[in-house]
């Protein structure tokens, strides 16, 4: 199969097929700089935001197959009146929106055309989609409701609420979910190809399955179902190792499981605990691939962080070829540079080497020895 | 004076309420036990701390989720407040915070663990800059700085804290412990921290050791 544009390529992979080659993207990480220290001043300017996003996902002659907008953007929290500090590398909550359990009732279903900066983000999506057309698969994204909960209520108190006032927490999660659904409707209307839910590892590895089933899965399912009904493809970003992969496999409206890193020490972990800040372990990756086979597309870095950060371009090429050989055949795979060309982590040289290696060796059928 | 048997029964009930994360009944049972004359030391050291440790051990083994540690520490805090009138003065002052990100759940649990071990805590919350730790430590005349770090990108901040302590001339007077997802014993040694804690219990053990060392140095 040849001559696919980026949207066709990514769609084919997300639907578990083999496109002309493995989709290769400049990851999401560069976008964090749009929501944090470097570019937070652009937050109110949709045109500048769109231009910046496009410039990040296009680098000289290179073009990312996917673009994910608004990463690490707490626009929904701000729209409810939350105060976020974007002046540092990672956005910080300056003042918790929910100070007492009764404050959960103060949330309302957000209007993406009116509340806070949400209209700016919708406009950004419109401008990016119009510009890149079929040359880039554009994801709208938001944190999962369970993850957002920990941006409006101090974590320890949120956990206490889950035990003591579960219905109040569920009421808030319902409002967050409905707001997210309104947001994804607006993004779809202006050209988004897919919707990506970002669920942070800290929230997931800390909780037993019972809690995830009660406080996370129902709301994620509702969002994914609505996205699918609208014709959007779906992706969830959850770090590995993760004890709840089985629950993800039960999400019938999910197309792709994406991870960008190995996680540091975790204690409730079904995968080997030797996974620290090491490169991806071959055996573990094969196990995850096997588990997801025929069910979910796998989205992941073309090489692990240590190699992208500290390796030579030759080592990057070897690492990318290794993953392609191991998990590339058959399709259902999207790859990303770790940091993007010129991104925060890893050198530009290494990012470009990873991209070129996928372009050269990631053509289907993949045949690497 | 109630019999030891009645008191034992109350202690047993208290343990069951904590295990079931039943906050209100656990606190009520602690109040009843206090009325029966149990001492703060006996109740906190021999009942509350061991049961909290059991719950933490279950969590670390992957046998339970986070609500167990969080709720047990929440109960423990209320028990310490309940027995405050009987407790000796605080062992020392600790400035605690998370640098680099807003992920401070672990820091909050360490804070509660140190409170349970009778430390006076000064929380500078999350996303704290290195100078915030030292500024607060000077302001409250702290004995210990405890820094949590959850992001690799923020890890250099934990080294800057040492530099800021040196600049302020308090490196020998204030002890410094580090912990969090991206911290390691090797890194702690490399930056010149006084100790690294992998668990909440480690933090309490380290704090006690630090206080002994500070007293010796007086």
Q: Which residues of B touch A208 (CB under 8 A)?
A: 64-65, 67
* Mean pLDDT to the nearest integer, A322-331: 92
Q: Does A206 touch chain B (CB under 8 A)?
A: yes
Q: Angle formed by the axes of helices B4-19 and B23-35, to 10°? A: 160
Residue where the block lists tokens 């006996």: B42
Answer whether B87's CB lies under 8 Å from B118's CB: yes
The residues pairing with B175 across neighbouring beta strands, listed in sequence order, are B144
The residues pairing with B197 across neighbouring beta strands, listed in sequence order, are B179
Given an 8 Å threshold on Cβ–Cβ distance, is B62 in contact with A160?
A: no
Phi, psi of B90 (to 5 degrees): -55, 145
Residue where the block lists tokens 């970002």: A198
The residues pairing with A138 across neighbouring beta strands, listed in sequence order, are A67
The larger pLDDT score, comparing residue B104 to residue A220, is at A220
| Structural domain includes residue A7 | no
| Structural domain includes residue A253 | yes
Q: Does A87 touch chain B (CB under 8 A)?
A: no
| Structural domain includes residue A214 | yes
State which residues form the domain around A218.
22-361
| Structural domain includes residue A1 | no
Which pLDDT score is estimated for A61?
87
Which pLDDT score is estimated for A35?
54
pLDDT tens figures, B130-148: 999 999 999 999 999 999 9
- B interface test, pick of A149, A156, A277 with most B CB neighbours within 10 Å: A156
CATH code at A315?
Answer: 3.20.20.210
Half-sphere exposure of B27 (CA within 13 A, CB side): 14
Quickly state the pLDDT bin for A343 (edges 50, 70, 90): low
The answer to whether residue A340 scores a pLDDT higher than 60 is no
Rounded to the nearest angstrom, the gap between the alpha carbon of residue A175 and the centroid of all alpha carbons in its chain is 22
Given an 8 Å threshold on Cβ–Cβ distance, is A163 in contact with B71?
A: yes
Name the residue facing B23 among A154, A164, A344 (closest C-beta): A164
Given an 8 Å threshold on Cβ–Cβ distance, is B152 in contact with A277?
A: yes
| Structural domain includes residue A295 | yes
Instruction: Note the helical H segments in B83-129.
Output: 105-116
**Of the given ranges (A121-125, B48-52, B99-103), which has the lowest mean pLDDT?**
B99-103
* Mean pLDDT to the nearest integer, B145-162: 91
Residue where the block lists tokens 């993760």: A242
Rounded to the nearest angstrom, the gap between the alpha carbon of residue B157 and the centroid of all alpha carbons in its chain is 22
pLDDT tens figures, B43-82: 999 999 999 999 998 888 877 788 899 999 999 999 999 9
Q: Does A168 touch chain B (CB under 8 A)?
A: no
Q: Does B128 touch chain A (CB under 8 A)?
A: no
| Structural domain includes residue A366 | no
Q: Angle formed by the axes of helices A217-229 and A166-189, to 10°? A: 20
Cis peptide before B71 (omega within 30 of 0): no
| Structural domain includes residue A16 | no
- Between CA A225 and CA A234 the distance in angstroms is 9
Q: Which residues of A touch B71 (CB under 8 A)?
A: 159-160, 163
Residue where the block lists tokens 């109110």: A44
| Structural domain includes residue A3 | no
Cis peptide before A365 (omega within 30 of 0): yes
Which pLDDT score is estimated for B1?
52
- Between CA A312 and CA A309 the distance in angstroms is 9
How many structural domains is chain A composed of?
1
Given an 8 Å threshold on Cβ–Cβ distance, is A90 in contact with B100?
A: yes
Quickly state the pLDDT bin for A59 (edges 50, 70, 90): confident
- Between CA A194 and CA A188 the distance in angstroms is 8
Neighbours of B24 (CB within 10 A): 11
* Mean pLDDT to the nearest integer, A71-79: 85
* Mean pLDDT to the nearest integer, A122-145: 95
The per-residue b/e assignment along A141-162, b for 16 or more CB within 10 angstroms, e otherwise, is bbbbbbbbbbbbbbbbbbbbbb
Please give the angle made by the CA atoms of A35, A37 and A41, to the nearest 5 degrees: 70
* Mean pLDDT to the nearest integer, B192-216: 95
């Amino acid at each position: 199969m040849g001559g696919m544009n980026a949207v066709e390529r990514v769609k084919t992979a997300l639907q578990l097929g083999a496109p002309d080659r493995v989709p290769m993207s400049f990851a999401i990480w560069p976008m964090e700089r749009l929501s944090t220290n470097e570019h937070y001043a652009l937050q109110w300017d949709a045109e500048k935001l769109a231009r910046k996003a496009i410039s990040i996902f296009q680098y000289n002659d290179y073009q990312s197959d996917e673009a994910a907008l608004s990463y690490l953007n707490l626009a929904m929290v701000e729209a409810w009146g939350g105060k976020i500090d974007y002046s540092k590398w990672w956005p910080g909550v300056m003042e918790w929106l929910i100070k007492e359990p009764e404050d959960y009732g103060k949330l309302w279903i957000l209007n993406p055309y009116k509340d806070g900066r949400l209209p700016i983000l919708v406009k950004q999506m419109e401008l990016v989609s119009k510009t890149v057309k079929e040359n880039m698969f554009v994801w709208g994204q938001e944190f999962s409701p369970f993850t957002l909960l920990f941006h409006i209520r101090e974590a320890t108190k949120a956990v206490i609420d889950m035990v003591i006032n579960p219905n109040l927490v569920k009421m808030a999660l319902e409002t967050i979910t409905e707001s997210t659904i309104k947001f994804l409707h607006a993004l779809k209307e202006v050209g988004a190809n897919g919707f990506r839910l970002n669920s942070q590892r800290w929230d997931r590895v800390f909780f037993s399955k019972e809690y995830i089933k009660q406080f996370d899965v129902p709301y994620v399912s509702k969002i994914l179902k609505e996205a699918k009904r609208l014709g959007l493809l779906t992706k969830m970003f959850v770090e590995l190792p993760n004890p709840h992969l089985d629950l993800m496999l039960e999400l019938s409206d999910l197309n792709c499981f994406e991870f960008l890193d190995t996680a540091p020490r975790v204690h409730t972990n079904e995968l080997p605990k030797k996974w620290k800040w090491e490169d991806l372990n071959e055996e573990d990756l094969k196990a995850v691939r096997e588990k997801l086979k025929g069910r979910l597309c796998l989205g992941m870095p073309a090489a692990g962080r240590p190699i992208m950060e500290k390796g030579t371009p030759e080592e990057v090429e070897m690492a990318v070829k290794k993953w392609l050989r191991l998990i590339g055949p058959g399709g259902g795979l999207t790859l990303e540079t770790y940091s993007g060309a010129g991104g925060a982590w890893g050198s530009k040289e290494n990012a470009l080497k990873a991209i070129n290696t996928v372009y050269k060796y990631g053509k289907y059928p993949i045949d690497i020895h | 004076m109630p019999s030891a048997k009645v008191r034992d029964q109350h202690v047993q009930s208290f343990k069951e309420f904590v295990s079931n994360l039943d906050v209100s009944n656990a606190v009520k049972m602690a109040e009843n036990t206090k009325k029966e004359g149990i001492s703060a030391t006996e109740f906190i050291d021999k009942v509350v701390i061991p049961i909290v440790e059991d719950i933490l051990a279950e969590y670390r083994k992957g046998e339970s989720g986070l609500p167990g540690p969080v709720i047990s520490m929440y109960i423990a805090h209320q028990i310490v407040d309940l027995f405050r009138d009987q407790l000796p003065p605080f062992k020392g002052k600790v400035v605690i915070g998370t640098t680099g990100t807003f992920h401070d759940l672990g820091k909050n649990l360490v804070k509660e663990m140190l409170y349970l071990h009778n430390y006076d805590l000064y929380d500078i919350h999350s996303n704290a800059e290195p100078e915030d730790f030292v500024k607060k430590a000077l302001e409250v005349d702290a004995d210990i700085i405890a820094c949590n770090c959850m992001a690799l990108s923020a890890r250099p901040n934990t080294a800057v804290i040492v530099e800021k302590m040196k600049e302020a001339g308090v490196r020998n007077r204030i002890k410094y412990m580090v912990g969090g997802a991206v911290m390691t014993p090797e890194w702690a040694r490399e930056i010149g921290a006084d100790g690294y804690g992998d668990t909440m219990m480690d933090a309490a053990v380290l704090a006690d050791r630090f206080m002994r060392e500070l007293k010796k140095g007086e």
